[in-house]
Amino acid sequence: MADQKQIAFTIDGRPVTTTAGTLVIEAAKTQGIEVPSFCYYPGLSLQAACRMCLVEVEKMPKLQTACTLVATDGMVVKTSTDQVHKARKDMIEFLLSNHPLDCPVCDKGGECELQDMTFRYGLDKTRFVEEKLHTPEQKWSPLVYYDAPRCILCFRCVRVCDEGMDVKALGVGSRGVLSVILPNKPDELACEECGMCIDICPVGALTSGTYRYQTRPWEMTYVGNPCAHCSNGCKTTLSVRNNEILRANNRDHSGINGEFLCAKGRFGYDFTSNAERIRQPLVRRNGKLEPASWEDALEEVARRLKQAHVGRGPAAIGVIGSNHTTNEENYLLNRFARVTLGTNNLDHHRTADYAGLAAALGSRAKDSLATMADVYNAPAVLLIGNDVTQQNPLVAWQIRTGVRHHGLKLYAINSLPSKIHRQAKIAVEVAKGGEHQALRWLASEHGQFDVKTTEALVQLKAALEAEKDVVVLFGADIQGAAIRDLVSLAARFGGKTKFMALGDYANSRGAADMGILPDRLPGYAHLSDSAERARFGKLWGGEISATPGLTARAMMEAAAAGKLNALYVVGANPLKTFGVAQPDRLAGLELLIVHDMFLTETAQRADVVLPAASTYEKDGSLTNTAGEVQLTHRSIDPQGPRSDFDLLRILSHQLSMLGLGTPIRLRTPEAAFDEIRQNVAGYDLAYANLLAGGSELARATSKAPEAAYDVPVGTIFSSQDYLFTSGTLGRYCSRLTSTNEAKQIPWTSSPSTQSWWQR
Amino acid sequence: MQLPPPLETKFNELAGRYPVKRSALIPMMLYAQDHLGSLGDEILEEIAKRLGLNFIEVEETLAYYSMLRRKPAGRNHIQVCTNISCMLRGGNELYKHVQKRLGIGHKEVSASGTFSLEEVECIGACTGAPAMQVNYDFYEDLDPDKVDAIFEQLQEGKKPKPSAVTAGSLHDRLPAEVPVISKRFGIPNAHKIDVYRKHEGYQALEKALTMTPDQIIDEVKKSNLRGRGGAGFPTGMKWSFVPKDTSKPNNIHANADESEPGTCKDRPLMEMDPHQLIEGMVIAGRAVGSHQGYIYIRGEYRYIIDIMDAAIAEAYARSYLGKNILGSGFDFDLVTHTGAGAYECGEESALMESLEGKRGYPRIRPPFPAVVGLYGCPTVINNAETLNTIPAIILKGGDWYSSLGTPRNGGTRLYSISGHVNRPGIYELPLGFPLRRLIEEVAGGVRGGKKLKAVIPGGSSCPLLSAGEIDIAMDYDSVAKAGSMLGSGGTVVMDEDTCMVDVARRIMHFYAHESCGWCIPCREGTAWLRKMLDRFHEGGGREEDIPLIDELSKNMLGRTFCPLGDAAALPTISIVKKWRNEFEDHLHGKCAYNAAELIAGVH
């Protein structure tokens, strides 16, 4: 890194020792001294525009801006002199001269930096008696509104959009006191709708279309939760009033995402209150799904599962789990399937080969898994087969920020076009599915490419071999043997290489870690491992068969072929996911049970639908694609639906009374998480940090690296969700889908994803 | 988009002119506007495409510059200056006359599309005040009859003959004058290279090519030449700041964005003696190891740009520019660059942003341009007049030049004297020349035998001097000692009938219009003061406004990002201090100038 020389100077008489190059405003923070500012924003380019941070420096005739002043040896800085106080007062007075004092109706009232600064540093009277400038408010998109008179022109929004997001949807119009922020199209934003500009706005100039004029900030409670959508696990702060989520934003920056949130994390919370939400159990009677009481519905499920079990035996029962239910729920589902129902036909829609990575790394996984912070800190990142801008927005943010802050070098091998390639030193574009071939060429120079690609690969190889401490990111197409090739290639890089498999959904990683797989137990122990089978069998009060079960796709095929008798689906929509949407594909089933929030294609075909609570309505933990575990909280009451955790627990009691399995005695997700921490490899995590809102990296391991194995084609694949889609859940996020951008094909999408927004 | 062939040619030439394509943005927009009448979405998208920019980058740049417009203007775009020098000589009345005659107001277009009108800020015709521009043509020394004659011709589709040269630049030499940089003024065709060469032209360059860079810098240091833009920084020292060991290419930058109200000296220098600037820049390039020069000329001076371009072409043809100049092995390329209406771009770092095709926001310093300037490379940026003095210094020696002025203030400079004097004009005088003699002797004294009330010594950003304060020497140090600044040499004289509240109001209008909007105190302070001075001058003043005008100015002073805030504050503070009685009179309905009324439609 940069010069680590230490320098000593004083602020308000206090001696400070700090690294050479430190800005005075930052050094002051370390002393608990606030130097107020609007335009200064750590991590973005310097402006020195707002002049709020003026401080006195001995031997300098004029006041200096602490946000651009680099501390030097022997410097004497004073932040609390009469001159400084007067300057702050004067700046606030200037700022308020044209600022409308509509605080009583301004969304920002109560959490406005200008309000706070006026309270602390401002004048107690108004001397401005001229007419204020006024222009009408503008709607730039259904999600972003701009009120120019409130704007103090700190240019944070312009910078975060340009520097942070690399979108540059905002600019500055006119000049002088008439200056305004401009959207990139007349009166309209055409952008990623991340809403970062709203979050970063210190005043009420940029407001959220979903939140504006709804409430006052002090009327709400705030709950920090991992986002319900993609696999990156950003923390989003839900603002709740009267059991309703009114806003999601990122004001405390305490999550792994720092200040980042994308459109899904910020605006994609309204599925919780979607009118199509199922609030009551549904039981099929006379061919029609009809509302039923919980008692009747659960009794029906237990009775019919028992029937199926007795009828064609456990091998004809399949269980499909979810990639957005909690770890605790998946853990319970594993026990429910393997012990209560006695079947290894257990799987979920796998969107990255986490098991393959665990197998390839073996015990090396302990220090070879990259966190989101590692992506930012890495000197170099190798990205393979993923459009991170669209599919993994936080990963993309981390890369962009790393490039900007410390010259992170990005290398990419991609069959998907991606905006992130603008940041790449070398981006090798390959044909669909060509990533593995390219890896093989890099590892062993086997394979044929056209001249252009070959040249790019030669360059890439040389560049990578000169790098050290590389973070390797790869998408769904790198699976099985390709991961083995990747890991052996990475052995040639210098330093410590770390890996991250990029999956699709909020708990894609957790589902795999918890063993929602036909051949693996929680912690990736293979079913052939008799000791592990025995351990979990003992824990769960039953025997676990050593024979691997069917994959999810195979279960669907078996169902179609009449080889499966009953299918138990938790939080998944396999009819849609596995491309077998024709209704008769499930004709061979005698029983279909579905837990879900909505009447999905699969739920519509069910015999019993149990309404499930969403991620934002229950306690538990989620594991992001990096393996970082975070707690999710019940921020609102689900009003009707129950958590999958409760449903499985209650059913285990009912089934045990019918002679199937033993009742699950884990009464709460916390209790289940304790059991996970004690029994699942890699999950021995520090709970205190999680309780405090932090994240802990789960380093799921298998004991020794295993021979690579190829999973059947079609088992692991990405849904290729984009910024405005989120699997089945995304369809119920009406705000997310309300923007023009959501209705257009994004500029980076490949032809194969032309109808992505309809998903 | 299919472009008219001359525009296509211009675009191609502009696209290849700069090391970074975006630099062509502002010239492209201005030239496109000249051809197409206005800048619609289609042409902006075309420019964005050619330069590889997002539309918003084009749009926000456009929005900054006052000459660029989205809506069409009339075929004859009438731009009447009402800034201080013009105002003092009837600019407001002229503007009203034009409004009445054309039946349109500020930024309006006549129904036929023949005319459009705009009240503009200083156009650099201060010694020919009142003045206006029709499109790019200057018409000076106007009165309503002359204006009517011009409009009659325009209505007939004819082009009236523009003023021949910058008014006041040609006159019989006065005994007090010491022509050094203006010595070729009045020589027929001095702008042509052969005439220039006949009158000592390019001899200094030939000499400089035999000198080492350090020898050139030493000579400039010896000359005690100080920057003529306003701040008066020693030029030789500035050149010596350029790092010698950098791998990046250096740039020489001439600041000819002359727009300080009251100042019109670069205009005649480039108009009548363009080769002198070229020669000065090549020598500067030689001194600091630069091979590329840029001349940033304000957009309103289009005819000057054409003159400069022609001179540059001549210089290339005679090997005074280009590769291996005069066989010396030294290479130097030079191009002009047009601004598009922004006073702030006269600030050196804002000028570089502007030349890079961006909004003219000043940059954070340090780093200073000598280390990180244009395109991130070391850059020497000097006022055009400063660079014009270099040939004489090299040819006749730094000691000779220095001896013309006073100690620490070497040489001569051009004064553009305007306002209520008998002989407004451009005069070259040695540094240290007495201000009283400048007004009474050189400029012929106050017009109509009236008494002197106030003087702006060097452009409207300087504190004003009262009649009792003019016994000072016009050099940087003496004027500073008197509490003002020598500035840009734009001396504006006001007689006893001048309303100083109106002067303060007009000055603040200018700075509020030109504030870039980057920093809060300047953006909000100038706008607030403008409104308050308007109200005050109109008769709506309150007693508490007088100290408030003073305090708000002081609240800007020294706290703004760039010197524009100081430029707005300093004259205002001086007026409130020295003519407070006139503010008090206003409270009682009295005004020193009977035409005390607000100009409608002003910015």
Measure the CA–CA gap between B74 and B134, rounded to whole angstroms. 10
Based on the domain organization, do B277 and B381 belong to the same domain?
yes
CA-based nearest residue to A555, from A517, A515, A610, A606: A517
Residue B165 lies in a domain: no
Provide the token pair at B2. 């299919």
CA-based nearest residue to A316, from A346, A343, A285, A350: A343
Mean pLDDT of A310-315: 94
In this prediction, the answer to ipTM > 0.85 reads yes
Of A48, A133, A153, the CB nearest to B561: A48
Question: What is the fold of A6-94?
Answer: Ubiquitin-like (UB roll) (3.10.20)
Report pLDDT digits (tens) over A368-387.
999 999 999 999 999 999 99
Provide the token pair at B242. 């350029």
Report pLDDT digits (tens) over B91-119.
999 999 999 999 999 999 999 999 999 99
Domain with B229 in it: what CATH number? 3.40.50.11540
CA-based nearest residue to A210, from A146, A144, A301: A144
Q: Which residues of B touch A182 (CB under 8 A)?
A: 56, 59-60, 63
Task: Give yes or no for B342 touching A (CB within 8 A).
Answer: yes
Q: Which residues of A touch B567 (CB under 8 A)?
A: none
Task: Give yes or no for B548 touching A (CB within 8 A).
Answer: yes
Based on the domain organization, do B56 and B27 belong to the same domain?
yes
- Number of structural domains found in chain B: 5
Domain boundary among B358, B388, B404: B404
Measure the CA–CA gap between A519 and B425, rounded to whole angstroms. 95
Based on the domain organization, do B566 and B462 belong to the same domain?
no
Q: Which residues of B touch A97 (CB under 8 A)?
A: 524, 527-528
Based on the domain organization, do B263 and B370 belong to the same domain?
yes
- Which residue of B lies nearest to A89 if distances are taken between CA atoms? B555
When mean pLDDT is compared across A31-40, A181-190, B115-124, the lowest value belongs to A181-190
Based on the domain organization, do B379 and B355 belong to the same domain?
yes
At residue B507, does pLDDT exceed 90? yes
At residue B40, does pLDDT exceed 80? yes
Based on the domain organization, do B355 and B416 belong to the same domain?
no
Report pLDDT digits (tens) over A624-666.
999 999 999 999 999 999 999 999 999 999 999 999 999 999 9
Of A46, A52, A178, the CB nearest to B364: A46
Based on the domain organization, do B334 and B472 belong to the same domain?
no
* Interface size between A and B, measured as CB pairs under 8 A: 116
Rg of chain B in Å (alpha carbons): 23
Based on the domain organization, do B225 and B272 belong to the same domain?
yes
CA-based nearest residue to B394, from B255, B140, B198, B212: B212
Percent of chain B at pLDDT above 70? 98
Q: How far is B8 from chain A (nearest CA, A)?
A: 26
Cβ-based interface (< 8 Å): residues of A facing B:
46-52, 54, 62-63, 68, 87, 90-91, 93-95, 97-98, 127-128, 130-131, 133, 152-153, 168-179, 182-185
Domain boundary among B64, B84, B107: B64
At residue B492, does pLDDT exceed 60? yes
**Residues B212, B214, B220, B226, Cα dihedral to 10°:** 140
Residue B470 lies in a domain: yes
Domain locations along chain A: 6-94, 128-273, 282-346+508-688, 354-502
Residue B320 lies in a domain: yes
Which residues are CB-contacts of B196 (< 8 A; sequence separation ≥ 6)? B184, B190, B202, B273, B275, B276
Residue B370 lies in a domain: yes
Residue B188 lies in a domain: no
Q: Verify whether the Cβ–Cβ distance A184 to B528 is below 8 Å.
A: no
Of B54, B523, B561, the CB nearest to A168: B54
Based on the domain organization, do B444 and B464 belong to the same domain?
yes
Residue type at A274 in one-letter notation: N
Please state, in angstroms and as integers, the Cα–Cα distance from residue B204 to each residue in A675, B239, B278, following that order: 90, 18, 11
Task: Give yes or no for B516 touching A (CB within 8 A).
Answer: yes
C-beta of residue B191 within 8 angstroms of C-beta of residue B166? no
Cis ω for the linkage preceding B391 (within 30 of 0): no
Measure the CA–CA gap between A594 and A568, rounded to whole angstroms. 6
3-state DSSP helix/strand/coil % of chain A, to nearest 5? 35, 20, 45
**What's chain B's average pLDDT?**
95
Mean pLDDT of B235-254: 92
- Which residue of A lies nearest to B69 if distances are taken between CA atoms? A174
- The CATH class for the domain spanning A354-502 reads alpha beta
pLDDT at res. A752? 36
pLDDT at res. A445? 84
Mean pLDDT of A231-241: 97
pLDDT at res. A711? 85
Provide the token pair at B553. 């100015």
Mean pLDDT of A674-698: 95
Interface test with B, best of A172, A184, A197 (most B CBs within 10 A): A172
Q: Verify whether the Cβ–Cβ distance B559 to A87 is below 8 Å.
A: yes
Mean pLDDT of A100-116: 95
- Reported as a pLDDT band with limits 50, 70 and 90, residue A578 is confident
- Which residue of A lies nearest to B533 if distances are taken between CA atoms? A130
Query: Chain B, 168-197: which have a CB under 8 Å from a chain A CB?
Result: none
Measure the CA–CA gap between B239 and B281, rounded to whole angstroms. 12
At residue B602, does pLDDT exceed 90? no
C-beta of residue B484 within 8 angstroms of C-beta of residue B461? no
Report pLDDT digits (tens) over B564-597.
999 999 999 999 999 999 999 999 888 766 544 4
C-beta of residue B361 within 8 angstroms of C-beta of residue B353? yes
Q: How far is A161 from chain B (nearest CA, A)?
A: 12
CATH architecture of A128-273: 2-Layer Sandwich (3.30)
Q: What are phi and psi of B416, to 5 degrees?
A: -105, 110
At residue A244, does pLDDT exceed 60? yes
Q: How far is A69 from chain B (nearest CA, A)?
A: 9
Provide the token pair at A691. 């309780």
Report pLDDT digits (tens) over B307-325.
999 999 999 999 999 999 9
Mean pLDDT of A584-591: 82
Q: Which residues of A touch B561 (CB under 8 A)?
A: 48-49, 51
Mean pLDDT of B21-34: 98
Of A91, A128, A152, the CB nearest to B528: A128
At residue B416, does pLDDT exceed 60? yes
Query: Which carries the bigger pLDDT value, residue A707 or residue B541?
Result: B541
At residue A137, does pLDDT exceed 90? yes
Q: Verify whether the Cβ–Cβ distance A51 to B559 is below 8 Å.
A: yes
Residue B447 lies in a domain: yes
Q: Note down the domain range covering B565.
A: 500-587
Query: Chain B, 48-77: which have a CB under 8 Å from a chain A CB?
Result: 54-57, 59-60, 63-64, 66
Q: Which residues of A touch B555 (CB under 8 A)?
A: 90, 93-94
Mean pLDDT of A676-705: 90
Q: How far is A89 from chain B (nearest CA, A)?
A: 10
CA-based nearest residue to A375, from A362, A392, A390: A392
Domain with B575 in it: what CATH number? 1.20.1440.230
- Reported as a pLDDT band with limits 50, 70 and 90, residue A364 is confident
Query: Which carries the bigger pLDDT value, residue B441 or residue A588?
Result: B441
Burial of A295 (0-12, 13-18, 19+ CB in 10 A): exposed
Based on the domain organization, do B434 and B534 belong to the same domain?
no
Provide the token pair at B310. 């022609």
Percent of chain B at pLDDT above 90? 95
- Which residue of A lies nearest to B367 if distances are taken between CA atoms? A68
Based on the domain organization, do B398 and B459 belong to the same domain?
no
Residue B376 lies in a domain: yes
Based on the domain organization, do B550 and B420 belong to the same domain?
no
At residue A758, does pLDDT exceed 70? no
Mean pLDDT of B501-515: 97
Please state, in angstroms and as integers, the Cα–Cα distance from residue B247 to each residue in A219, B244, B289, following that order: 60, 9, 11
- Which residue of B lies nearest to A99 if distances are taken between CA atoms? B524
Q: How many other C-beta atoms lie within 10 A of the C-beta of residue B335?
A: 17
Measure the CA–CA gap between B183 and B200, rounded to whole angstroms. 10
Burial call B12-46: b when 16+ CB within 10 Å, e when fewer: eebeebbeebbbbbbbbbbbbbeeebebbeebbeb
Provide the token pair at A322. 């979810």
**Residues B588, B590, B595, B596, Cα dihedral to 10°:** -40
**Residues A624, A627, A633, A639, Cα dihedral to 10°:** 50
Mean pLDDT of B501-507: 96
Residue B58 lies in a domain: yes
C-beta of residue A95 within 8 angstroms of C-beta of residue A116? no
pLDDT at res. A708? 64
Report pLDDT digits (tens) over A462-508.
999 999 999 999 999 999 989 989 999 999 999 999 999 999 999 99
Report pLDDT digits (tens) over A421-435.
999 999 999 999 899
- Which residue of A lies nearest to B553 if distances are taken between CA atoms? A90
Domain boundary among B453, B476, B495: B495
At residue A696, does pLDDT exceed 60? yes
At residue B601, does pLDDT exceed 50? no
- Reported as a pLDDT band with limits 50, 70 and 90, residue A186 is confident
- Which residue of B lies nearest to A62 if distances are taken between CA atoms? B558
Q: Which residues of B touch A178 (CB under 8 A)?
A: 517
Domain with B109 in it: what CATH number? 3.40.30.10
Q: Verify whether the Cβ–Cβ distance A130 to B531 is below 8 Å.
A: yes
At residue A753, does pLDDT exceed 60? no
Provide the token pair at A102. 């509509």
Question: What is the fold of A282-346+508-688?
Answer: Rossmann fold (3.40.50)
- Which residue of B lies nearest to A185 if distances are taken between CA atoms? B56
Q: Verify whether the Cβ–Cβ distance B517 to A62 is below 8 Å.
A: no
- Reported as a pLDDT band with limits 50, 70 and 90, residue A1 is very low
